[in-house]
Structure 1
Amino acid sequence: MFYASALLRWFRKFQHGGVANQFFMALMVTIPVLNFGMLMGWQSPMTPILQSPDGPAPEPISDETISWMASITFFPSIFCGVFVGKLADKWGRKNTTMLTSLSLVISWSITLFSLRPWALITSRAVAGLACAGCYVVTPLYLKEIASDNIRGALGSLFILVQNLGYLVVYVAGDILSFAAVMWLCTAIPVIHLLVFMMMPETPVFLVKQGKIKEAKSSLAWLRYTTVDDKNLEEEIKQLEREEDFARSMKKTSWKSIYQDKTTFKAFRISLNVMLSQETCGYLVVLMYAGSIFDQASQSISLKLSPNKQTIVVGAIQLLGSVVASCIVEKTGRKWLLASTSLATGLSMLALGAWFYITSFSIWLPGWLPVLAMCLCIFSDAAGYQPVPYVITSELFSFQHRGMVTSFVSSVDALSDFLQTKAYDPLLKLLGIHWVFIFFSMICFLGTVYTVLYVPETKDRSVEEIYAILEDGRQKEKRKDMEVGNEVTRL
């Protein structure tokens, strides 16, 4: 009886302000991201099976096909990011999220239909559409449903759920048959597509469409209150004032971003932190994890199968993401990003130094690269990966948020495509040690940039953040704020 009473009190506390509803909604929104993480991780345990003469493919899959499968996923996102952003502004966050799940269903269905090289590459190309949907729409959705006090935690769920997808498919690939893994991966977006029809649209978009009654209902459910609640009414009025102001302005365009010096500064910060995150070499560490485990096993008793190695990596990723979600509201965005980028850079430098020194046949302990690799993966997942998405969503009002997020997503996709294709040539040209040292320099530059130029966005409205970007000078209140109300944080 005592435990039941304690559990009830905990639930009431968790539900205060609609926290439980918002977390549930966030989990539903991020299921396509979970499935996309499974799609990206699927290639690791399945490549040996596809390349086996006795595997399920009609013929063993070549290394060239595997290389294209890894890189082609990011190629459509280069061009579709802006298009998906416009869809999200026109059709809504909900419909675009469902379109993302539909793209994943089509992608997995192609692979179920055929395992020939053309089908595998086409499947991953279709998944590139889902990639654009995940990286553009999901951060917008999470930002627009979250209360201020849990905004960072919900934003961090993006990377946490993606890493959970990696781990799920790693474990499934180790214990299930090839066909069972395929059906599991296909079933998730199908179920999500059906269930998500019942989920609400974001209040921000509904107000933008003039659907005030629907916006009240959506926000009331998210805040776990009634439509007659005075605080709810004030939030809706605040959104209406922002929308009226947006309509009174000229149509949002890149020119409007460029002409406003503060907005353009925010855009540069967003682009730089995202590029630092995407070009830090994290993908290279994941690609080379198997080799690090193999070399370590020569001097320490660390004998793990390739699948077990990927499971260890996936577990570390997930642990880092859980830590990020738990501490991002306590540490703030700026210093969590700076500390994790520094830790990632130091671990990259340690890996590069280990490979360089051992190339001269000098003995170094095998646990050193394993420890450095684990620190790199943990630090990246604990802040360096998720925090830039949170910062980007908080740097802009909803008039610019979709446009900027879609552009940054396209740039990131181009970076990922080039990295995955250039990995082998760089490895042969420079050697793995110089590759790691080069990426460590990027991490250190990212740390310095974050400390010097990135503002703290935690618990601050766009107006307050822009005042900081203007060297602390208080920005004049906008025309629509003449009534004395603060700018909304939604």
Structure 2
Amino acid sequence: MLVPAAKWVATINEGGIANQFFMALMVTIPVLNFGMLLGWQSPMTPVLQDPNGPAPEPISDETLSWMAALTFLPPIFCGFHMGGMIDKWGRKAFTMLTSLFLTISWSIMLLTLRPWALIASRVVAGFACATCYVVTPLYLKEIASDKVRGALGSLFILAQNLGYLLIYLSGDLLPFAAVMWMCTAVPVLHLLAFLLMPETPVFLIKQGKLKEAREALAWLRNTTIDDKNLEEAIKELEREEEYTKSMKQANFKSLVQDKTRFKAFRIAVNVMLSQETCGYLVVLTYAGSIFEKASDSINLKLSPNKQTIVVGTLQLLGSIVASCIVEKTGRKWLLAVTSLVTGLSMLTLGGWFLVTGAGAWMPGWLPVLAMCTCIFADAAGYQPVPYVIMSELFSFQYRGVATSLIISGTALSDFAQTKAYDPLLKLLGIHWVFIIFSIICFLGTFYTIMWVPETKGRTVEEIYAILEGKKEIEDEEAGKEVSRL
């Protein structure tokens, strides 16, 4: 027993994999807390609307609607500038700033639960959304070695889904005040602990801090600062920085002027918008009604909190699967398969609502199975993989600008969906809404197969060569790890 255990420890220590995963976990704690904040509204809505609850007055549905929507408003406007600021001030500073925004957001609700405070809290949380959705994928990309780059990148959505599940469980098991203090403690402790964490080597090189960059990279690779491979990696980073300095400053104009780079930008935009508009939010919203309808024919009686726990567990399991298999399957085909499965699940849900709405009978287990499959497949690939692809399609010079522009666009999509889906449901009916979402998923599958390149294990130069139709560039030495900037 001891020998296999020793081999396992040696494996995770080789190349600094354990250190990189530890660093990735530290980087994604603000995302976990943001997931807790997003999920908090679900188990706490009955508490907030209870006349005898902790709120000074019952919170109206309109206030709750604005709370959900306004979270995505700040990223629409400040997201455009976030990439440039992160490139200027660093990944570490903005990760800590995310925790500061989250601390302020939770603290407002600790002080008072009046409607204006709940809305103000969500606006502040929106700034945390703007920072973490831009800086976290960049941080994960720049601390990861090639063989775990996809796994670390997928931790972004895993952390968010773990946050959902934690708040669902704590909302069901703990008193309201205990939940609030727990949620506030997470970003406060992270803010203090992250002071000890290193900046990314890529950014340190950009700042001319060669000694700090060498030390940070040595720790991330679990090696000594005089290691030959480490020296080669540092030189590669320096060459990239010299090349960056020789070029014009990255902005939207320079992003679209280069034909290949603009093609990469369009691909990133399309896969992210496909992910955001696939109807996942509607499935989560209607999970309760699906469980309720199913209970008539399959004796499935679950309280609203238990239903959210089931949903949160499926999300987390899907995210764990994504982290485990993304390096084996590659990005392209994992995204294509999960978007196809999500589309088929959406189509099944739409068909079930259409048939039962017309008065015909269909088994109650079918929508539950379709919903669970949809949630699992979405978390296992359709949600995390686009973030991985987005971070791998651009060099350091353009990564911040491109990511901030894309996140602003997806935030606008989330805001519009949150406020518009209810009128849309009343106009078309839930069955047509699910069918439309299934078509979006199928279009996303087709687009992925036809135009999205496989980015696993490739440099930006190799990816762009594929986009230009050139033959794939082979590494000069088989098995040699190339710096992915």
* TM-score over 0.5 (shorter chain): yes
Paired-residue identity, %: 74
Kindly indicate whether the alpha-carbon contact (under 8 Å) linking 1:31 and 1:161 is maintained by their aligned counterparts in 2: yes
Distance 1:487 1:193 in 2: 33
Distance 1:487 1:258 in 2: 27
| Counterpart residue number, 1:166 | 164
Task: Tell whether 2:484 aligns with 1:489.
Answer: yes
| Counterpart residue number, 1:301 | 299
C-alpha displacement of 1:488: 3.5
Task: Tell whether 2:216 aligns with 1:218.
Answer: yes
Q: Deviations over 1:112-170 (max 9, x none)?
A: 01100000000011000000111100000000000000000000000001000000000
Kindly indicate whether the alpha-carbon contact (under 8 Å) linking 1:349 and 1:440 is maintained by their aligned counterparts in 2: yes
Kindly indicate whether the alpha-carbon contact (under 8 Å) linking 2:146 and 2:481 is maintained by their aligned counterparts in 1: no
How do residues 394-433 of structure 1 correspond to structure 2 at under 5 angstroms? 394-433=392-431
How do residues 7-86 of structure 1 correspond to structure 2 at under 5 angstroms? 7-86=5-84
Q: Where do 5+ consecutive residues of structure 1 fail to align?
A: 476-484
Distance 1:175 1:254 in 2: 48
Q: Deviations over 1:233-265 (max 9, x none)?
A: 000000000100111112222222111100000
Secondary structure at the residue paired with 1:405? helix
TM-score when normalising by structure 1? 0.96
C-alpha displacement of 1:89: 0.6
Q: Where do 5+ consecutive residues of structure 2 fail to align?
A: 474-479
Kindly indicate whether the alpha-carbon contact (under 8 Å) linking 2:161 and 2:315 is maintained by their aligned counterparts in 1: yes
Task: Tell whether 2:255 aligns with 1:257.
Answer: yes
Letter in 1 for 2:356: T
Distance 2:415 2:105 in 1: 18
| Counterpart residue number, 2:476 | none
How do residues 202-241 of structure 1 correspond to structure 2 at under 5 angstroms? 202-241=200-239
Q: Deviations over 1:372-399 (max 9, x none)?
A: 0000000100000000000000000000
Letter in 2 for 1:223: R
| Counterpart residue number, 2:477 | none
Q: Deviations over 1:199-235 (max 9, x none)?
A: 0000000000000000000000000001000000000
Q: 1:208 to 1:321 in 2, by over 3 A?
A: same
Letter in 1 for 2:274: S
Q: Deviations over 1:165-187 (max 9, x none)?
A: 00000000000000000000000
Letter in 2 for 1:454: V
Kindly indicate whether the alpha-carbon contact (under 8 Å) linking 1:84 and 1:96 is maintained by their aligned counterparts in 2: no
Letter in 2 for 1:66: L
Distance 2:468 2:212 in 1: 37
C-alpha displacement of 1:474: 7.0
Secondary structure at the residue paired with 1:335? helix
Distance 1:307 1:253 in 2: 46
Q: Deviations over 1:429-484 (max 9, x none)?
A: 11100110010000000000000000000000000000000112579xxxxxxxxx
Letter in 2 for 1:469: L
Kindly indicate whether the alpha-carbon contact (under 8 Å) linking 1:34 and 1:162 is maintained by their aligned counterparts in 2: yes
C-alpha displacement of 1:487: 7.4
| Counterpart residue number, 1:134 | 132
Task: Tell whether 2:327 aligns with 1:329.
Answer: yes
Secondary structure at the residue paired with 2:298? coil
Kindly indicate whether the alpha-carbon contact (under 8 Å) linking 1:463 and 1:487 is maintained by their aligned counterparts in 2: no
| Counterpart residue number, 1:181 | 179
Which residue of 152, 158, 179 maps to 1:154? 152
TM-score when normalising by structure 2? 0.97
Which residue of 76, 96, 115 maps to 1:98? 96
Which residue of 442, 447, 450 maps to 1:449? 447
C-alpha displacement of 1:13: 1.3
Post-superposition, which runs of at least 4 consecutive aligned residues in structure 1 deviate over 3 A? 485-488
RMSD: 1.2
Letter in 2 for 1:451: I
Distance 1:8 1:101 in 2: 37
